[in-house]
């Protein structure tokens, strides 16, 4: 495994070609690791050459940032740190507030929890439809001028919004769900990012665990955020697991795992793409990083494309409430509920 992990460029940052999405160490998926296991995984990732760690104020309502703060910041110069605002805790619940006042408040809390005075890459986690983009973006530009953040990113926004934001101030990165079974960025966002020189960060690159073989016919536990996502519920789940079995067969024929094939497929889609798989398991992390050492034929990636055309996955990729907060383009006739 190369020590550089085949670095790619995200805005001004040179980062490992596979980063680490830290959400499920504190939030979202079940079961969650205890604190000691989460700390071991983060340090193992850093020791293995991962130099891009992604968190957010939303994750565990600050607990994920606290975890990174106490675990990694003694080695702060070794990695690029990304976090997010706008989508965060409001009165004990998930909510959106893109007002400048809220962005300033959330950023200050994040800096304190992370034990830093500067966050390298800071995203608007979602677009707040009640607040003009100029106002939200203006708060981030001021934070950059004050030295509190290094670059600005956007998450789950449309190509039109990305272009508009970039015309006001350079956007370093756009983060959106992207995997073989979620290909919405191919509608317009990937091309916009490539044209504008914006890095693209692919979250949930393993289909929220299903494309890694981590979801069975029983579905997921109550309390897991996927329990509200139609793709993980009957009758859609059985269809999607059948797709996974065909995907896993392609991987086995190529001598790799399904998770590795998913990551290699993503990396083949463009040099400006950096996947950030999340895991709570060190063995799975090592498996993900080993995807960088694979030499897979283009015909295999074409087979993946053929297996997962637009609309191949059954069910919506978000719950109705979460979909309402998402700006990424949808396919014609895409099911959204």
Start-end of H helices in 187-328: 189-196, 236-254, 258-268, 282-289, 298-307, 320-323
CB 165 within 8 A of CB 140: no
> Is residue 3 predicted with pLDDT exceeding 50?
no
Closest CA to 205 of 256, 272, 276, 271: 276
Q: Which residues pair with 216 in a beta bridge?
A: 219
Q: What is the pLDDT of residue 335?
A: 83
Q: Give residue 84's Cα distance to chain centre.
A: 11
DSSP 6: S
Average pLDDT over residues 198-205: 98
pLDDT band at 336 (very low <50, low <70, confident <90, very high): confident
> Is residue 1 predicted with pLDDT exceeding 60?
no
Q: What is the pLDDT of residue 2?
A: 44
Cα separation, 257 vs 278, in Å, equals 16
> Is residue 199 predicted with pLDDT exceeding 70?
yes
pLDDT tens digits, 19-54: 999 999 999 999 999 999 999 999 999 999 999 999
**Residue 31: which residues within 8 A CB-CB, separation 6 or more?**
221, 280
Q: Is the dihedral of CA 12, 273, 202, 166 positive or negative?
A: positive
Average pLDDT over residues 324-328: 92
Closest CA to 96 of 112, 84, 110: 84
Retrieve residue 14's tokens: 């040179």
Q: Average per-residue pLDDT in the chain?
A: 96
CB 109 within 8 A of CB 57: yes
DSSP 229: S
Distances, alpha carbon 216 to alpha carbons 29, 203, 206, 230, 240, in Å: 14, 21, 15, 15, 10
Residue 93: CB atoms within 10 A of its CB come to: 7
Cα radius of gyration (the chain): 19
Question: pLDDT over 70 for what percent of the chain?
Answer: 99
> Is residue 4 predicted with pLDDT exceeding 70?
no
pLDDT tens digits, 85-95: 999 888 888 89
**What are the structural domains, with CATH classification, of the chain?**
8-213+258-299 (3.20.20.100)
Average pLDDT over residues 289-318: 96
Average pLDDT over residues 305-316: 95
pLDDT tens digits, 245-285: 999 999 999 999 999 999 999 999 999 999 999 999 999 99
Question: pLDDT over 90 for what percent of the chain?
Answer: 93
Average pLDDT over residues 307-312: 94
Average pLDDT over residues 175-186: 97
pLDDT tens digits, 119-162: 999 999 999 999 999 999 999 999 999 999 999 999 999 999 99
DSSP 21: E
Phi then psi for 314, rounded to 5 degrees? -90, 140
Average pLDDT over residues 165-173: 98
pTM of the model: 0.96
Query: Annotated catalytic residue: which of 29, 59, 122, 123?
Result: 59
Cα separation, 41 vs 283, in Å, equals 10
To the query of whether residue 59 is one of the catalytic residues in this protein, the response is: yes
Cα separation, 164 vs 64, in Å, equals 31
């Amino acid at each position: 495994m190369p020590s550089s992990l085949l670095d790619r460029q995200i805005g001004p940052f040179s980062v490992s070609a596979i980063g680490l999405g830290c959400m499920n160490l504190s939030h979202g998926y079940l079961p969650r690791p205890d604190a000691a296991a989460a700390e071991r995984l983060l340090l193992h990732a850093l020791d293995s050459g991962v130099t891009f760690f992604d968190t957010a104020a939303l994750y565990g309502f600050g607990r994920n940032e606290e975890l990174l703060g106490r675990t990694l910041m003694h080695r702060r110069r070794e990695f690029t740190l990304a976090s997010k605002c706008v989508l965060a805790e409001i009165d004990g619940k998930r909510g959106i507030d893109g007002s400048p006042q809220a962005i300033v408040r959330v950023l200050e809390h994040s800096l304190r929890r992370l034990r830093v005075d500067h966050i390298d890459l800071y995203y608007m986690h979602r677009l707040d439809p009640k607040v003009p983009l100029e106002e939200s973006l203006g708060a981030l530009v001021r934070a950059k001028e004050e030295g509190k953040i290094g670059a600005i990113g956007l998450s789950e926004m449309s190509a039109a919004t990305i272009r508009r934001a970039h015309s006001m101030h350079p956007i370093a990165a756009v983060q959106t769900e992207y995997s073989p079974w979620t290909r919405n960025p191919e509608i317009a966002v990937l091309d916009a990012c490539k044209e504008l020189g914006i890095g693209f960060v692919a979250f949930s690159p393993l289909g929220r665990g299903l494309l890694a073989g981590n979801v069975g016919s029983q579905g997921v536990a109550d309390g897991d955020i996927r329990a509200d996502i139609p793709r993980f519920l009957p009758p859609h789940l059985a269809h999607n697991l059948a797709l996974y079995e065909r995907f896993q067969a392609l991987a086995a024929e190529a001598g790799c795992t399904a998770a590795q094939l998913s990551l290699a497929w993503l990396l083949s889609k463009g040099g400006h793409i950096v996947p950030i798989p999340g895991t709570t398991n060190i063995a799975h992390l090592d498996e993900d990083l080993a995807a960088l050492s694979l030499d897979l034929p283009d015909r295999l990636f074409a087979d993946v494309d053929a297996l997962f055309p637009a609309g191949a996955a059954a069910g919506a990729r978000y719950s109705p409430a979460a979909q309402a907060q998402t700006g990424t383009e949808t396919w014609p006739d895409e099911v959204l509920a």
